[in-house]
Structure 1
């Protein structure tokens, strides 16, 4: 018996005896006493057969790592070649094994070659060819492997204990998208802060001036300053509204809208509001709608916001008095094309690919002077993406700009389609 077990056994038997005596003295039935004795005996048996917590746990049997034969097993090779990320096994500074993604990234010639030919990075090459054995995994960040803009996290894991020719498991993780997202997030915060700081600085400056009894006492000066304050405050509110809209659209970007939208009615409502809000430029809006426009499957508020943003941009950047043309027509049985055109200075070709970036402006000073937030086309792009549509911007210098949006029509359900579905559903499985 393990030391200490005899003491536990005597203690347990004493407790059982005392408990049985107490139960009999209080007049308990024999059935209750029998249950108590049975339960106590079971607990005593379990106690005697459990391992003593004070004893050290048995040593785990370590695998035989003095031999690296397991690295050559077919199962290990299947694991390496089954991974989707680039993976290499290095031994003696040479590439012994590489899976298909690694060969595609680094070239088919790397097998059996010096690893410095495959991975031309000083820190990585030094670590992979070092004669000193590794005791722990190492991570190295690499830029420019594959393409100049790609970023990789190389994780080097030692295999086995062969100090003469230690094998290294090299795993390459593509972190390009993650770094791009972090950079975009940082740029967004910086741009948003700048856009809010500019009108806020103007507001604070004019408030300080109005607080001056000499400058603020003049009615004409006070009126002019208050007008500027109102303009800057409205600009800040518009910027906050656009940021909130963009956030809501991105939150729903993976949720396909299902509302049926009658385009003629929606376009009439949006253009009526635009004609009222745009003043003189509102009278330049011209609409041309195709006959029998089918309904669009989408989000009514977002499609209305999309059209409002495009018309507002055309009003700002088109020549005063020139027409703002809104055309809507069915392209085929699946899509509807919405076009908004203006006659203005046009946009240089090198700016077109970046127009939908947040806060990007061709002319920052002019855009701010016209009340633009730099988010209008970014909102349009995200609305189009959520509706599984397509956005196209064409511009000719000195002539004007046309923005085209393709939106999906609502699915048509006919009796023939329903019958076909019923037949397919009841057909026997092959």
Structure 2
């Protein structure tokens, strides 16, 4: 009621002026309301100046005792505080949303209707090679120039994601990209790195194909011989030839049995957690492996043995036997007659234990080494079948090493031989008492 109070004050001062003019002189009567009005104007001016200073920073509390301005400033200040609180809450909510989007394992890119980039999270930067704020406003299709994705984006309908191969920092990755509409003519791009999934799927397909291929050869031999023996009269084949056929069938059956046993071993290693570690007498284990290797060599190679007989391991005796024998057997199979094979079982100064098999065999080209532990991977398929083996030995050895916290090392040079090693950490090492 600002105007009513002002009117009352004016009426009061006018009445006082009339009374003073009737008692004294008219000049005195006029001077009283004039002075009152002048004082009121000065007071209102000072109050207005204080309000003007407050208006420069309305986030602070308004000035007190500013007369009629109190009725204006109080609701205005309450409104400003409410708006500030709403703005602060909205800012916090937005920051939480952005933080959540940054934490997503998938990439997220917001785009306008022209596919220009508004924002993206860190995962999308890594997936697509984007840079913010440098790329903000740039057209996505100019940065991701894969023809399949460009055609997908321009189709206007995206019921399903698309798989594209992108090269980033010299490394090819397989990305699943999905576009969707949201808001007012806005687009959302979601990216997911499926490189590992694609690799596992490829490995699965290769594994099925390799198993089929490895089993098909002995099965074909067995089937052929059995059909021959079934259709041929009893007296039509000499006993010596029949014995030869049976021997070859037995050999192929043993090959299939070895493949199946290795597959079961590999499956067990991959799916089970294993029993608790026990102390394994490595000296005895290596002695048994030595007997098997020298029997397989049959005097065709020279062996050197450097075994620390007091050095044992905490682990599974059966698994370690498989790993140790696989490396030693491979050395015998792929080292030509007259070659040398050296076996080392020793500890270093830091307490780690190392099992190494060094041969003077045919060696392996560097490009093959990263894939040697893949199932059924063979550098030379013809030679591998000729010397025996299932193609699963190194895959089994790798899993045994992982289950014993060890590393599998491979060093090789064509024509100069190879060195395969199992390197066990100090916590897996045990010293024999006495």
TM-score normalised by L of structure 2: 0.70
Task: Find the aligned partners of 1:234 and 1:139 in 2 and give their Cα distance.
Answer: 48
Task: Find the aligned partners of 1:318 and 1:283 in 2 and give their Cα distance.
Answer: 8
Task: Find the aligned partners of 1:412 and 1:316 in 2 and give their Cα distance.
Answer: 30
Aligned to 1:115: 140
Task: Find the aligned partners of 1:382 and 1:411 in 2 and give their Cα distance.
Answer: 16
SS in 2 for 1:191: helix
Cα deviations by residue, 1:344-380 (Å, 9 ceiling, x for unpaired): 2222333222222211222211211221211111211
List aligned pairs for 1:204-223, cutoff 5 A. 204-211=223-230, 212-213=232-233, 217-223=237-243
Task: Find the aligned partners of 1:306 and 1:220 in 2 and give their Cα distance.
Answer: 39
Aligned pair in 2 of structure 1 residues 323, 128: CA closer, same or farther (>3 Å)? closer
Cα deviations by residue, 1:29-50 (Å, 9 ceiling, x for unpaired): xxxxxxxxxxxxxxxxxxxxxx
- The one of 244, 247, 261 aligned to 1:224: 244
Aligned to 1:289: 307
Alpha-carbon distance, 1:303 to partner: 0.8
Aligned pair in 2 of structure 1 residues 190, 100: CA closer, same or farther (>3 Å)? same
Q: Does the 8 Å CA contact 1:209/1:216 hold for their aligned counterparts?
A: no
TM-score normalised by L of structure 1: 0.70
1:103 aligns with 2:125: yes
Give 4+ residue runs of structure 1 displaced > 6 Å after superposition: none
Aligned pair in 2 of structure 1 residues 350, 145: CA closer, same or farther (>3 Å)? closer
Alpha-carbon distance, 1:151 to partner: 1.4
Alpha-carbon distance, 1:183 to partner: 0.6
Aligned pair in 2 of structure 1 residues 123, 410: CA closer, same or farther (>3 Å)? closer
Aligned pair in 2 of structure 1 residues 410, 297: CA closer, same or farther (>3 Å)? farther
Task: Find the aligned partners of 1:281 and 1:379 in 2 and give their Cα distance.
Answer: 27
The structure with the largest alpha-carbon Rg is 2
Aligned to 1:380: 397
Aligned to 1:303: 320
Aligned pair in 2 of structure 1 residues 150, 327: CA closer, same or farther (>3 Å)? same
Please, which runs of 5 or more residues in structure 2 have no aligned partner? 1-89
Q: Does the 8 Å CA contact 1:256/1:387 hold for their aligned counterparts?
A: no
Aligned pair in 2 of structure 1 residues 141, 345: CA closer, same or farther (>3 Å)? closer
Q: Does the 8 Å CA contact 1:387/1:407 hold for their aligned counterparts?
A: yes
Alpha-carbon distance, 1:149 to partner: 3.1
Task: Find the aligned partners of 2:257 and 2:387 in 1 and give their Cα distance.
Answer: 15
Cα deviations by residue, 1:126-159 (Å, 9 ceiling, x for unpaired): 56567x6x7x865222222536631111122321
Please, which runs of 5 or more residues in structure 1 have no aligned partner? 1-68, 414-430
Aligned to 1:239: 259
Q: Does the 8 Å CA contact 1:287/1:326 hold for their aligned counterparts?
A: yes
1:330 aligns with 2:347: yes
Aligned to 2:298: 280
Aligned to 1:364: 381
Alpha-carbon distance, 1:291 to partner: 5.9
1:173 aligns with 2:196: no
Aligned to 1:61: none
Task: Find the aligned partners of 2:387 and 2:236 in 1 and give their Cα distance.
Answer: 27
